[in-house]
Copies of this chain bind each other. A is one copy, B any other.
Amino acid sequence: MAPLGLVPARACAALFSPLLRPPRAVRARAVRSHSQVAGAVLTSQVKPDQKKSNFIIKTPKGTRDLSPQQMVVREKILDTVISCFKRHGAKRLDTPAFELKEMLTEKYGEDSMLIYDLKDQGGELLSLRYDLTVPFARYLAMNKLKKMKRYHVGKVWRRESPTIVQGRYREFCQCDFDIAGQFDPMIPDAECLKIICEILSGLQLGHFLIKVNDRRIIDGMFAACGVPENKFRAICSSIDKLDKMSWNDVRYEMVTKKSLAPEVADRIGEYIQRCGGVSLIEQLLQDPRLSQNKQILEGLEDMKLLFEYLTLFGIADKMSFDLSLARGLDYYTGVIYEAVLQTPSQTGEESLSMGSVAAGGRYDGLVGMFNPKGQKVPCVGLSIGVERIFSIVEQRMKVSDEKVRTTETQVFVATPQKNFLQERLKLIAELWNAGIKAEMLYKNNPKLLSQLHYCENTGIQLMVIIGEQEMKGGVIKLRSVASREEVAIKREHLVAEIQKRLSDS
């Protein structure tokens, strides 16, 4: 269960850290598929006289193909996510894979160095999108839209260094839901958290916890601790690394690399150990140092309101108000959140986190950055981390040895005799034209056994069999692959009979 009392958040982080990397199996597999082709060398077939180039056949570093088996799992996950987005009234949007380079500058803080730029081939300077949020803000500003509830499913690209974050992909899929518009406080914010809960419950990923904080509380805490205002975002970025680094390393980075006074760092260190629920909010409202700060009071009052709405939604028990949650991106201005999966630990005392699977927050200034007059459109949103969820589901299926069908073929057109290609072609076209999913072997004279095997291997349940005898009788044999039962059907009733069987099953 989610820890709602005061628990030392850092203690958990230390425990969780070995689990924050993607499952070992994923990394091992990536290595194996490279070594499989390690000796492979390209030889050009088209221009054999040209010099041969030697290279390994692989996908670029940090990217991967998704096999048909993987695509089935991926699409099931996306279906759950997209259904939920539609349930909450979102419209779908799409934007180009790359943006003008200048659209992405000053949005991501330190992470900007991870942006993929395109080569200057004449014309505009372009970059691959780093997330789906900045393109959404650009879209709103460009079309002068003041409100919109949209979702967007697409790939984003980040030049993560595998030495820092092992096994993290450089190309990955994001599913974003965002609400833009001026509304009464915390109502859209609460809906975003409800959506995360619905999706994680819907995917049956087990227990999860959503850490919640607010940039105004973080900034107010920084001010109260004595962080100079021009260091706010840099220090925020350091704190965001707490799920990958120990507090000591983060403190070292803040003091040494970001020239923060050690005593200021230690004051921050005290606060960010705290997490809990409404009682923590009340406690902080009483804190003599914090309660002086107007910004932090606003943040805490809104956090109280948020917890009230979350209680009405019946999801407050999944939440943990966590002062160590910072989020790396520059553009957040209010509530921020991050969902982690948990497995009950052996002792039953604390639960183990398996890394963040969803995150988001409020960014009220981003659209204004694209507007000539700086006109703001308040926004709040969330992003589902499909890759990590995918790894978990995939591994679970591996453990349970669950078989995945990668095609949907319903009927196989077979013959036990030679010279029946023409009849098979006519027959299968009839099935296709009736909307029936059908396959046959691409051979003039296939063996009956190999046709049977094809059905068994690919999970096709029905076979239609045509041969000399059937031709004479004006019938087709319909065979159930599982039961091996065969019945003769009049040729002209075949399509109707198949459709009946398919709708019954």
Contact = CB atoms under 8 A, between A and B. Distances in A.
Nearest to A201: B433
A142 to B, nearest CB: 5
Interface of A: 33, 36-37, 39-47, 50, 53, 55, 57-61, 63-68, 70-72, 74-75, 86-100, 102-103, 105-106, 116-121, 123-124, 126, 128, 138-139, 141-144, 150, 155, 157, 159, 171, 179, 181, 183-184, 187-188, 190-191, 194, 198, 309, 312-314, 330-331, 365, 368-374, 376, 406-409, 421-422, 425-426, 429, 432-433, 435-439, 442-444, 458
A365 B45 contact: yes
Contacts of A93: 65-68, 71
14 contacts: A43-B371, A45-B365, A46-B331, A53-B102, A57-B141, A58-B142, A65-B139, A66-B94, A68-B92, A72-B92, A89-B409, A118-B128, A194-B429, A314-B433
Contacts of A128: 97, 118
B368 A45 contact: yes
Contact of A59 (B39, B55, B95, B330): B95
A98 B60 contact: yes
Given A41-B372, A45-B376, 9 more contacts: A37-B141, A45-B365, A46-B331, A60-B100, A66-B94, A88-B438, A89-B409, A92-B406, A97-B128
B139 A46 contact: no
Contact of A120 (B72, B75, B119, B142): B119
A106 B47 CA distance: 8
The DSSP consensus for interface residues of chain A is loop
A84 to B, nearest CB: 8
B97 A157 contact: yes
Nearest to A331: B46
Interface hub of A126, A181, A331 (most chain B Cβ within 10 A): A126
Contacts of A90: 407
B99 A442 contact: no
Contacts of A45: 365, 368-369, 374, 376
B372 A96 contact: no
Contact of A429 (B70, B102, B118, B313): B313
A92 B61 CA distance: 23
A314 B157 CA distance: 46
